[in-house]
Structures are given as C-alpha cells and as structure tokens.
C-alpha cells in the first residue's frame, strides 16, 4: 500500500523568537466582583439569565442577556485607551446608546440602581 501524505506547517506568531502574542484587555478580579454583584441582584429578581465575557485587543466586554439566544440587553465595556478622555468604563444599551460612562466602575454601575427603573403597565 502506498499512502500519500500532505504536510502542512503552521507558524504561530507567538512561537517565533522575539515575537509575542497580541495581548488582550481583560477584567481584573475587583472589577468582576463589582459587575457580578449587580448581575447577581438582577438574576435573583429573574430579569437576567446569562452573561458573556470577552477579552479583545482594545477592550474587555461583559454582555448581559435576558435569554441566551438573544442579543445582549446591556454591555459593560472597559476601554483603557479612553481612560484619559471620557473614562474607560461605559454601559451600552441594546440599541447602542451609551447609558453611563466614567472613570470609576462603581459609579458607572449605578445606572442599574433600582430607583432608575420603573415598571410601565
């Protein structure tokens, strides 16, 4: 029997000497604690069901879903490059509107305070 083999060489950028893998922005533990406190409160109320965490090249994203199959209701974004401009943290609604932006994550997360939301019948 004769077998024909095809060899494919994959070169990963991070494996080359002198090259490092592109760093992604991630949430720190203290930041995640603050976000998960708010998230847990709304999960207990039955309003939120799922979340996703993404670490991208220029920002970290925490997306909040009512159901796993939907688009995120809210997105909390950390963009360190904007820290000196308008603040590195922001909360974005489903429509893309920036609800709150600032330097301090605790202050930005106050947009989710109970008082701000009212039930319309």
For residue range 52-93, what is the model confidence (pLDDT) as tens digits?
A: 999 889 889 999 998 777 788 999 999 888 888 888 899 998
| Domain presence at residue 33 | yes
| Domain presence at residue 5 | no
Specify whether the CB–CB gap between 92 and 78 falls below 8 A: no
For residue range 99-111, what is the model confidence (pLDDT) as tens digits?
A: 999 999 999 999 9
| Domain presence at residue 91 | yes
Asked whether the predicted pLDDT for residue 9 surpasses 60, the reply is no
What is the overall mean pLDDT for the chain?
81
Contacts of 105-110 with CB under 8 Å at 24 or more apart are: 105/31, 105/34, 105/35, 105/78, 106/34, 108/76, 109/34, 109/35, 109/38, 109/76
Which domain, by its residues, includes 48?
29-109
Is 45 strand, coil or helix?
coil
Overall number of domains in the chain: 1
Is 9 strand, coil or helix?
coil
| Domain presence at residue 14 | no
| Domain presence at residue 64 | yes
pLDDT, position 87: 86
Cβ contacts of 34 within 8 Å, gap of 6 or more: 105, 106, 109
């Amino acid at each position: 029997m004769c077998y024909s083999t095809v060899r494919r060489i994959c070169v990963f950028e991070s494996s080359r000497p002198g090259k490092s893998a592109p760093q992604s922005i991630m949430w720190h533990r203290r930041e995640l604690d603050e976000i998960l406190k708010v998230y847990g409160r709304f999960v207990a109320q039955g309003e939120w069901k799922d979340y996703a965490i993404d670490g991208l090249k220029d920002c970290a994203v925490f997306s909040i879903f009512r159901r796993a199959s939907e688009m995120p209701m809210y997105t909390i974004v950390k963009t360190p490059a904007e820290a000196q401009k308008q603040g590195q943290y922001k909360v974005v609604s489903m429509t893309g509107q920036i609800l709150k932006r600032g330097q301090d994550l605790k202050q930005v997360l106050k947009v989710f305070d109970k008082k701000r939301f009212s039930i319309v019948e």
